[in-house]
Structure 1
Amino acid sequence: MTTRPLVLKAAKLPGEIASALSASLDVLELPEDDGEIAALLQTCGSRVRGLAVRKRQIRAELLDRLPALEIVASYSAGLENVDTEHCRQRGITVTNTSHILAEEVANLTVMHCLAVTRQLVRAHDFVRSEAWTRGQFPLTHSLSGMEVGIIGLGHIGKAIARRLEVMGARVSYYGPRKKPVELPYFDSPEALAEATQMLVASCPLSDATRGLVSREVIAALGSEGYLVNISRGPIVDETALIEALRAERLAGAALDVFENEPHVPEALRMHPSVILTPHIGSGTEETRRQMGLSMVTSLKTALGA
């Protein structure tokens, strides 16, 4: 009888996805307890060929106890929880689902861009409180014609750019290298911020991007500028952002991610020019299902299952 590839599941997965994973692969759950992990790996670590992950930290110490490992497949887009450099050195394939969730995250991003420039939450409260009966809502700003800079032009950044251009925004970008696209490129976040009225952070979190939207970048964006972050919280200097908002050195911010989520500073939660959502960029049933199935397909393809 042919032995099915063995996969270690280091992720909490929806029932349908867990079932799809075990339909053609042998699956073992990675325990939380260090002692239980050691016992499991001593018994079968040498046979593990695949690793299914979501938010769990996957470091070199664990990877080195899996000598037959061929692939780490992430349910998520971000890979900051995986030691990708160690995987590269070992020749281990690493996959994520950024190509699956890009369109949905881009949809939410456009909603954030509109919500913060048109002050949709304030307008909602204006009607609900009956303030409309006492006067008109103030004029806001148009996204059409606005100079918008995107930090990170990967799957998600490109999907955002397409939508913004359709809406009439003038899009430019920054990244570690120029891409073969017909968009203006800036060689630093500061230069991009100086040239635009809105910055959208859509780059992955890494040592190179942690704090990339710094105090200097926020200052360059200026008092009429907007910041939108749908990538990872630590990419933005949250302290500098709060200070700029308090001093009215920034017009507003729209944030789906935070430095220490789910804990969000009161200064952001209560600021009238800040739009907040609870890290829901890919948070639809349809997208999450496709993300899970994509992860399963990556494992099955790599392991010949």
Structure 2
Amino acid sequence: MPFKVLVYSRFPKAMMVRIGERFELMHAAGKPPAEVFTAEELSGVQAMITAGGTPLPAAAMDMLPSLRAIICYGTGYDGVDLKAAASRGIAVGHSPAANAAAVADMAMTLMLAVTRRLLPADDYVRSGSWSSAKPSPLMRPQPGNPGRRVGVYGLGAIGRKIAARAAAFDMDVAYYSRSRHDVPWRYVPSLEALVEWCSVLMIAVRAGADTHHAIDGDMLRKLGPDGYLVNISRGSVIDQQALIAALADKTIAGAGLDVYEKEPHAPDALTAFPNVVLTPHIGGHTLESHVAMQDCVMANLDAFFAGKPLPHVVM
């Protein structure tokens, strides 16, 4: 009989097909498990799958007295109360670097789209403005990539791939992270110095209390009127209201965002700016990335049920 695994977050069915072939999945579909399953059913749950950004507090863990493994689908685990898990003897695993290439590609896509004004250019053609030779200030020449200063905030697996891609575009790359690394790009000793130096700030840092609203109004002013912001990390890293204000008064030149403080992100002031490119948190959403993340999830679950340490452990 296959081992039972609780699916805590809401996932598209296609993402769970391969995992469901190996384990008996109990789908909570994003609802509190107690609303879907009986206390008796939950009492025997030893492992769960969750999305890293889904809040998973101590109270949720207490509903599952036999829980000993929380497996995050994806690289993030910021929604999990790690202290509560540790105090209960619960191992936490994730899928490190499984989607790094796809997310780095999205970062570059957003940067190119916003700096080359791809969306206004698309509209310029579709609206007939180009064929009628209608003047547009948005179609004026913009600075190109060679020599553009790209600052990468966070040099994990994703940050490194962003830096490598930016360097391949003949950009000048620097980074700031908690640790200095043996890499070919310059290290800047503070986030403030990185923001002041760069013309494009790529946010690739892991979400947490120490990075919450790290990019606030003061940082945006340091980025300046020719600076662009790209975020493929977590929305919590940016003070979104400060970003809206900075875009409204032209404190910065534009932004490319795949993540938001609240998701899914409803239309608001942020969505009205022509110098902002928005995508619905799809940075890691490629077929190859999902296979790699599912492989990590299954490897973690296989090890757990075999009584072995998780191969992709957070703590």
TM-score (normalizing by structure 2):
0.85
Aligned to 2:78: 80
Match of 2:312 in 1: none
Query: In structure 2, which of residues 114, 117, 120 is the aligned counterpart of residue 119 of structure 1?
Result: 117
The counterpart of 1:184, out of the listed 183, 186, 194, is 186
1:12 pairs with 2:14 = no
Q: 1:274 corresponds to which letter in structure 2?
A: V
Task: Identify, as 1 or 2, the structure richer in helix.
Answer: 1
Rounded to whole Å, the distance in 1 between the matches of 2:16 and 2:141 is 50
CA distance in 2, matches of 1:16, 1:237: 34
Q: Give runs of aligned pairs for residues 45-124 of structure 1, distance below 5 A.
A: 45=43, 47-54=44-51, 56-124=54-122
Alpha-carbon distance in 1 for matches of 2:250, 2:41: 60
1:205 CA drift (Å): 1.8
Q: How does 1:80-229 map to 2 (within 5 A)?
A: 80-132=78-130, 133-134=132-133, 137-229=139-231
SS of match in other structure, 2:99: helix
Residues 258 and 220 of structure 1, relative CA distance in 2, 3 Å threshold: same
SS at match of 2:298: helix
Contact 2:234 2:259 in 1 (8 A): yes
Instruction: Give the corresponding residue for 1:242.
Output: 244
Q: What is the deviation of 1:278?
A: 1.6
> Structure 1's 271 and 14: CA in aligned 2 closer, same or farther, altered over 3 A?
closer
Partner Cα distance (2:250, 2:12) in 1 = 43
Map Cα deviations across residues 21-63 of structure 1 (whole Å, 9 max, x no partner): 34443443447356547843x4552x43321112543222232
Cα distance, 1:93 vs structure 2? 2.6
Greater Cα offset, 53-62 or 11-20? 11-20
One-letter amino acid of the structure 1 residue matched with residue 248 of structure 2: R
**1:209 Cα deviation from its structure 2 partner:** 1.2
How much has 1:114 moved relative to structure 2?
A: 0.7
* CA distance 1:154–1:89, change in 2 (3 Å): farther
Unaligned runs of 5+ in 1: none
Question: For the Cα contact (< 8 Å) 1:252–1:274, is it kept in 2?
Answer: yes
Instruction: Report the CA distance shift for 1:116/1:14 in structure 2 as closer, same or farther (over 3 A).
Output: closer
Distance 1:206 1:296 in 2: 26
1:67-94: CA deviation from partner (whole Å, max 9, x where unpaired): 5433211113321221123223444332
1:296 & 1:14 partners in 2: Cα distance?
17
**Percent sequence identity over aligned pairs:** 33
Moved over 6 A (4+): none
Unaligned runs of 5+ in 2: 308-315
Moved more, 240-249 or 131-140: 131-140
Larger mean CA deviation between 62-71 and 236-245 belongs to 62-71
* Alpha-carbon distance between aligned partners in 2 of 1:270 and 1:67, rounded to the nearest angstrom: 47
Shift of residue 297, structure 1, vs aligned partner: 2.4
Cα distance per residue 1:174-194 (max 9 Å; x no partner): 222223323222233211101
Q: Distance between the aligned counterparts of 1:62 and 1:266, measured in 2?
A: 32
Change (3 A) 1:251 1:303: same
Distance 2:107 2:57 in 1: 31
